[in-house]
Structure 1
Amino acid sequence: MKFIDFFSGIGGFHSGLERAGMECVGWCEFDKFAQASYRAMYDTTNLWFGNDVTKVKGWELPKADLWTFGFPCQDVSIAGKQKGMKEGTRSGLFYEIMRLLDECKENKPKWLVCENVKNLLSIDNGTGFLNVIGEMAERGYSIEWKVYNSKDYGVPQNRERVYIVGYYGERCSRELLPIRRENQSTIDQIGNLTENKGFGGNPQSGRVYSVSGVSPTINTCGGGNLEVKVLIKNATKTGYLEAKVGDGIDLAYPDSETRRGRVQPQQSNTLTTSDNLGVLVDDESIRIRKLTPKEYWRLQGFSDEQFEKAAAINSNSQLYKQAGNAVTVNVVEEIGKHIMKIENEVKK
């Protein structure tokens, strides 16, 4: 199966569907820094490319069996202004995909796979979501949707996202999406850096988590102390601090990044620091650390090799942002394998 990767970012769909046995034939991404990472991570030499979906024409597109589009979530995310699914908004770029389907006519893809934040289901009292599936249905697609949590698919990140799949033509007798897995691992918040609470309008900026639990949803921060923070016990003074989070994501960061802080005994649930980036707590054997860009990428299922290629040409702030904007590779792989299985059964 061949696919086109719209709103591609750093290619979470690309990586996941490739692992499932599919082939990318084209991609579209507006952000120049994400474009740079994408080109570094994948062989794009012979792929169709569009840098602005609003200027792409349907008849220009290569033939593909599947289109992916994790369209921008800013206007439906709880963290955003929640303007809703309206044309002219960032999230309204969804309608550009509908336009392309109309322009493709007989060249429509058999499958559509769409991803967005869970809040898409309830924005505008549910009318935004109904508009999304209604627009897809009007163009001949049978629709199915499910909410998947990344923590159930081999990465220790609590990330709930809604995935919508469309199947063109006669209704498919099989379920279009795989059955949800379940992992009982939970987020373990162990304190709050009170001086940083609410820093930048993001309450997560001051929270501290245990490496024995699951990371909260990583966001699109560009650094600035908004990164997820974890507490490491029995830390060493030199070299690298290493630990494992949840299902086995390695953490490793240089000891030189530490800053001193203190614990207030009368506030057993609250950690306070001597500066805005305080990362050493109590004594030299306990440290609070921001997750590094590489760890953010690991939490989304990207390989270290992919990260290193992107890191060679991008700043840390861009790497944080790119990971936060990405879809989780492992979840996409599961969906891709399910679709491939359906296709193979149909061909028999």
Structure 2
Amino acid sequence: MKFLDLFAGIGGFRLGMERAGHECVGFCEIDQFARKSYKAIHDTEGEFEFHDITRVTDESVRGIGRVDVICGGFPCQAFSIAGKRAGFEDTRGTLFFEIARFASILRPKYLFLENVTGLLNHDNGNTFETILGALDELGYDAEWQVFNSKNFGVPQNRERVFIIGHLRGAGGRAVFPFGGENTQSDFEPRIEVVGSTQSEDSHSLGQKEIVYSPDGVMGCLTATDYKGPKQVAIPLLTPDRIKVVGVIEPNFNQSGCIYDPEGIAPTIRTMQGGGLEPKIAVREATSKGYSEATVGDSINLSHPNSATRRGRVGKQVANTLLTGEEQGVVTPNFRIRKLTPRECWRLQGFPDWAFDKAQAVNSNSQLYKQAGNSVTVNVIEAIARKLEETDE
């Protein structure tokens, strides 16, 4: 089937749809850096290309011609629990109606949409009811299901809701419900806290002090992790449970957590980079990295061997963070590091060849953001294959 890729990002929808045998006819993405990655990864020659969807005229939309599917992970900040949850009062929330405008003109057989699970209960369900009502007025019957990326071959705990709109009278069977390949997985659903890095005279435990068990599940990577990367232990991509084994400062939205290599990664958020990338623990620390630090010491990762305040400062004492530096607490048998942009892209199901092409045209900070903004390719591919089956 021919599909149009709206709010395209780096092409997570596109890659999953193409893997299932569908053909892209055009895309729309407002972010110039995401477009650079998209066009580096995908062959877009001869396709329709749009930037700001609100500036695309109805005449331009009609010029696209016939499409069978409109895909779109419309902006989720307006509905996410991490945002202000302003919904349709937020201009980003109204971008759903741009999808509706395209659908009213092109009349595709299917709409294939994605958003955060917060969309379902925002404003006591009124926001989602508004979306379903809009689809109904357009002549589309909707079905939806929540999927977790960890059940589709990537070790990331990322729940998202997917919506399929069926054009009334166009045929086609229901796509949902169905399960992922690892629906009955061995991943532990809980996140277990086993300690903290707070001082003894502190009376409250904040997210930045939490130390998680290696037997629990790693949380979701989020949009602002680039300000303080999460930490995990290597090897990274293993089909096990999420484990948090320590933290570093500063920690924004759990971005200071250090994750165990034998667990799964948290949900990748949009704004990675700038020091907020997730971090993993590297077992068997070398003397080069921690020759002067002992278990329990607070250390500055930018100067691991220093005996000054910029390096080791001792137990129960945190370094004063300087611009661009990282800080950590040495624990038994491992050292910590950030997830790399490549690893974040892998956690979203992108092959290394796609990352290599994007890396050639974008900075690490943009690559982190793009990974967090993307959909998980494996989930899209699974739904796209079901979509193909229902159309037969």
TM-score (norm 2): 0.74
TM-fit CA distance, 1:258: 6.6
Q: Structure 1, residues 275-300: CA drift from partner, whole Å, max 9, x if none?
A: 541368358x6211110111110000
User: Greater CA radius of gyration, 1 or 2?
Assistant: 2
Residue 289 (structure 1) aligns with: 337
Structure 1 residue matching 2:24: 3-state secondary structure = strand
Report the more deviating stretch, 205-214 or 183-192: 183-192
Distance 1:210 1:172 in 2: 48
- 1:262-301 to 2 correspondence within 5 Å? 276-278=325-327, 281-282=330-331, 286-301=334-349
Residue 114 (structure 1) aligns with: 113
- 1:180-199 to 2 correspondence within 5 Å? 180-181=179-180, 182=183, 183-185=185-187, 186=217, 187-193=242-248, 195-197=249-251
Identity %: 47
TM-fit CA distance, 1:132: 1.1
> CA, structure 1 residues 308+178, in 2 after alignment: closer, same or farther (shift >3 Å)?
farther
Q: Residue 206 in 1 paired to residue 256 in 2? A: yes
Residue 365 (structure 2) aligns with: 317
Residue 330 (structure 1) aligns with: 378
Structure 2 residue matching 1:135: 3-state secondary structure = helix
Residue 67 (structure 1) aligns with: 70
Distance 2:254 2:171 in 1: 42
Measured on the aligned residues, the alpha-carbon RMSD in Å equals: 2.4
Q: Residue 124 in 1 paired to residue 126 in 2? A: no
CA contact (8 A) 1:76 1:83 kept: yes
TM-fit CA distance, 1:62: 3.1
CA contact (8 A) 1:280 1:286 kept: no
The code of the aligned residue for 2:371 comes to A
TM-fit CA distance, 1:209: 1.2
Structure 2 residue matching 1:204: 3-state secondary structure = coil
Distance 1:158 1:213 in 2: 10
TM-fit CA distance, 1:274: 7.8
Q: Residue 229 in 1 paired to residue 279 in 2? A: yes
CA contact (8 A) 2:10 2:37 kept: yes
TM-fit CA distance, 1:184: 3.1
Structure 1 residue matching 2:142: 3-state secondary structure = strand
> CA, structure 1 residues 196+165, in 2 after alignment: closer, same or farther (shift >3 Å)?
same
CA contact (8 A) 2:284 2:334 kept: yes
The code of the aligned residue for 2:116 comes to V
CA contact (8 A) 1:83 1:89 kept: no
TM-fit CA distance, 1:206: 1.5
Distance 1:273 1:234 in 2: 24
> CA, structure 1 residues 274+233, in 2 after alignment: closer, same or farther (shift >3 Å)?
farther
Distance 2:63 2:379 in 1: 30
Moved over 4 A (4+): 235-238, 261-265, 271-276
> CA, structure 1 residues 272+17, in 2 after alignment: closer, same or farther (shift >3 Å)?
farther
Report the more deviating stretch, 58-67 or 124-133: 58-67
> CA, structure 1 residues 46+235, in 2 after alignment: closer, same or farther (shift >3 Å)?
farther
The code of the aligned residue for 2:28 comes to C
Distance 2:12 2:374 in 1: 6
TM-fit CA distance, 1:224: 2.4
The code of the aligned residue for 1:93 comes to L
The code of the aligned residue for 1:334 comes to A
Distance 2:313 2:140 in 1: 57
CA contact (8 A) 2:173 2:391 kept: no
Residue 229 (structure 2) aligns with: none
TM-score (norm 1): 0.83
Structure 2 residue matching 1:89: 3-state secondary structure = coil
- 1:1-348 to 2 correspondence within 5 Å? 1-56=1-56, 57=58, 58-86=61-89, 89-102=91-104, 104=105, 107-170=106-169, 174-181=173-180, 182=183, 183-185=185-187, 186=217, 187-193=242-248, 195-197=249-251, 202-235=252-285, 259-260=303-304, 276-278=325-327, 281-282=330-331, 286-344=334-392
Distance 2:341 2:245 in 1: 22
Q: Structure 1, residues 254-290: CA drift from partner, whole Å, max 9, x if none?
A: xxx875277977x8xxx9668541368358x621111
Give the gaps of 5 or more residues in structure 2.
188-216, 218-241, 289-300, 305-310
Distance 2:14 2:314 in 1: 47
Distance 1:297 1:2 in 2: 26
Q: Structure 1, residues 125-175: CA drift from partner, whole Å, max 9, x if none?
A: 111111112111211111100000000000000000000001112385732
Say which structure is richer in helix. 1
Give the gaps of 5 or more residues in structure 1.
239-256
Distance 1:51 1:317 in 2: 21
Distance 1:154 1:273 in 2: 39
The code of the aligned residue for 1:91 comes to G
